[in-house]
Structure 1
Amino acid sequence: MTRAAGLVVRPGSIAKYTVLGVLSVLWLIPTYLLIINAAKPLDEYSTANAWVPSLRIGLFDNIADAWGRVDLASGAASTLLYATVAPALAILVGAAAGFAIIALRLKYGFVWFMVIFAGTIVPLQMLLAPLFLGYAWTGMFDTRAGMILIHLALNVPFATFVMRNFFTGVAYEMFEAATMDGAHALTIFFRIYLPLAKAALGAIFILQFVGVWNDLLMGLTLTQSSGVRPAMTALVGLQGMYSGAAPTAVLAGGLIMSLPTIVLFLVAQRLFRQGLSLGQLRDTT
């Protein structure tokens, strides 16, 4: 233990922060490479100088090149729709399921919970062929409604898991008191339980928004047209051998498509941090 400027510095703390600093640098290396190479003019790009930033800025030309080769605008609009509507519906369904199991004391509630959560047991890759055939048979292949539906189904189990655990921390006396005052179950759900779970709902929404925004597998399997396929699928087309896009344009496209998730985390980081704790509710009830 050492003292510096009146502060006590422990060797364990120094080692911990050193390890964290090294891990942070390693974590940021791919981001650094993405940014500096996406910003390079094409005539200065090579794998030999990938670590060296350029004094000239070619980022906007690279973005324009990527934007003009594939319909990234339609892909971004479609992905924004999927990443907003599907998680919003998923957290509403998951919260309702958690409320029914915990507050309404649903008969065989744990069994119902396991039935819902069982959707996460089977690897998603095993479902691609049945999904494709089912979507083709029902006419939902290459439709926005079909993409919203599959992302809703994939996100409900996690939302139910989190909200069930969250509502466990709510004093059951609140539900009983509201019932004695004549409140309907839907009124209790929307006016008491959902407002109390605002931080948890926000955290789930952020996580699922990012997951849907970065989805590639469902877009490749269930979409075809440029007006329906998500942004990440469009980026794959940008890397295709027939697109003719330069590496700098591909990197610039990936950079611009990652901005919405970064902005969302920066704007909602406080809500996200509160929601992950899941312990704040016990301090307010």
Structure 2
Amino acid sequence: MGGSQRLRKAAVIVLGLVWLAPIYLMLVNAAKPEDTYVDSSAWVPADISGLWDNINTAWTRGHLSESFSATAVYSVTAPALSVLIGAAAGYAIVALRLRAGFLWLVVIFTSSVFPLQMLLMPLFTGYVDFDLYDTRLGMILIYTVVSVAFTSFVMRNFFSGIARQTFEAAIVDGASTWRIFWRIYLPMSTPALVALFILQATSVWNDLLLGLTLTRSEEVRPLMASLAALQGNYGGATMPVLLAGGLIVSIPTVLLFLFTQRFFARGLSLGQF
């Protein structure tokens, strides 16, 4: 092994340790009993007997149990809808050669130009006026809308790489445009669809801003908003409870990437992101 290879290997190890340091701190301190946390160093492991108690406190008294089911619904429904709508938009622009298709893509993509913070007040007012405030339907709608711009852009690029002859051959065989979309274009784009779904599901799962603005009840509020409320209720004296809550929130996204990494890697390797 040459000197440059050893240097690269050492750099990778150092970067890996730096990346794992926050995870180590969260696990070590989430396992500490509340009465021993203040008197111990954050870097030194202590008695792990407090881990289950802290998790149970965050899950029950922090109302994470109600928010977990709501966030699971949002993280599955909204990304699925946004990916399907984005694929349909890309198909219409590329395969159907929609008139002024690029202009439509620009119109769709402009929804992501302005920072979301600028839209919070009119969004809140509109949700109240249309009785969508603090409803699961309202949260699914907004999560879908904010994701469609990116999915449309990516799927338009992906479908541009499919030969035009594929669409023309299907038309000659008598297939309708809807049948071509469902039976040919969607199956061919499965890796990109899965990668997009994972990215959007993670984004929805980790959302805090929209959850704080558009919800107030535990059964509708997303997990991150409930975790923020947990911090307000318990304060720094119960930091192990907060870290245990963060552990609960983090596990599903980690498992999602572990079980779908093959599809995610294939989607990224297509070079369309």
Question: Which TM class, normalised by the smaller chain length?
Answer: over 0.9
Q: Quick check: 1:238–1:245 contact (8 Å CA) kept in 2?
A: no
Partner residue of 2:53 out of 51, 61, 80: 61
Q: Indicate the residue corresponding to 2:243 in structure 1.
A: 251
Give the secondary structure class of the aligned counterpart of 2:232. Answer: coil
Question: Which sits farther off after the overlay, 142-151 or 243-252?
Answer: 243-252
* CA root-mean-square deviation: 1.7
Identity among equivalent positions (%) equals: 54
1:212 maps to 2:210: no
Normalising by structure 1, we get a TM-score of: 0.91
- CA deviation after TM superposition for structure 1 residue 73, in Å: 0.9
Matches within 5 A, 1:109-120: 109-120=101-112
**Of the candidates 246, 269, 273, which is equivalent to residue 277 of structure 1?**
269
- Residue 90 of structure 1 pairs with residue 82 of structure 2: yes
Gapped regions of structure 1 (runs ≥ 5): 1-8, 281-285
* 1:42-81 superposed matches below 5 A: 42-46=34-38, 48-81=40-73
CA contact (8 A) 2:34 2:237 kept: no
Mark the CA change 1:45 to 1:118 in structure 2 (over 3 Å): closer, same or farther: same
Rounded to whole Å, the distance in 2 between the matches of 1:98 and 1:17 is: 42
Q: Is 42-51 or 173-182 further displaced after alignment? A: 42-51
Number of aligned residue pairs: 272
Q: Using a 3 Å threshold, how does the CA distance of structure 1 residues 156 and 262 change in structure 2: closer, same or farther? A: same
Matches of 2:35 and 2:174, distance apart in 1: 73
Structure 1 runs (4+) deviating above 2 angstroms are 9-21, 241-245
The corresponding residue for 2:156 is 164
Assess if the C-alpha contact under 8 Å between 1:219 and 1:229 holds in 2. yes
Partner Cα separation in structure 1 for residue 125 and residue 52 of structure 2: 41
CA distance in 2, matches of 1:96, 1:132: 29
- Judge conservation of contact 1:69–1:245 (CA < 8 Å) in 2: no
Out of 5, 10, 16, the residue aligned to residue 18 of structure 1 is: 10
Contact 1:120–1:157 under 8 Å retained in 2: yes
1:181 aligns with 2:173: yes
Structure 1 244/23 Cα, relative in aligned 2: closer, same or farther at 3 Å? Answer: closer
SS in 2 for 1:49: coil
Q: How far off is 1:57 after superposition?
A: 2.7
Quote the offset at 1:126 in angstroms: 0.4
| Match of residue 27 from structure 1 | 19
TM-score, L = length of structure 2: 0.95
Residue in structure 1 matched with residue 118 of structure 2 by the alignment? 126
Q: Which amino acid aligns with 1:200?
A: A
Q: Is the 8 A contact 1:83 1:212 kept in 2?
A: yes
2:54/2:240 contact within 8 Å kept: yes
Specify every segment of 5 or more residues in structure 2 that has no aligned partner in the other structure, as ranges: none
**C-alpha separation in 2, matches of 1:14 and 1:117:** 45
- CA positional deviation for 1:241: 4.3
Cα distance between partner residues in 2 of 1:219 and 1:195: 34
Once the two structures are superposed, what CA deviation does each residue of 1:91-144 show, in whole Å capped at 9, x if it has no partner?
000000001111111111111001101111100110000100110111100000
Q: Is the 8 A contact 2:195 2:263 kept in 1?
A: yes
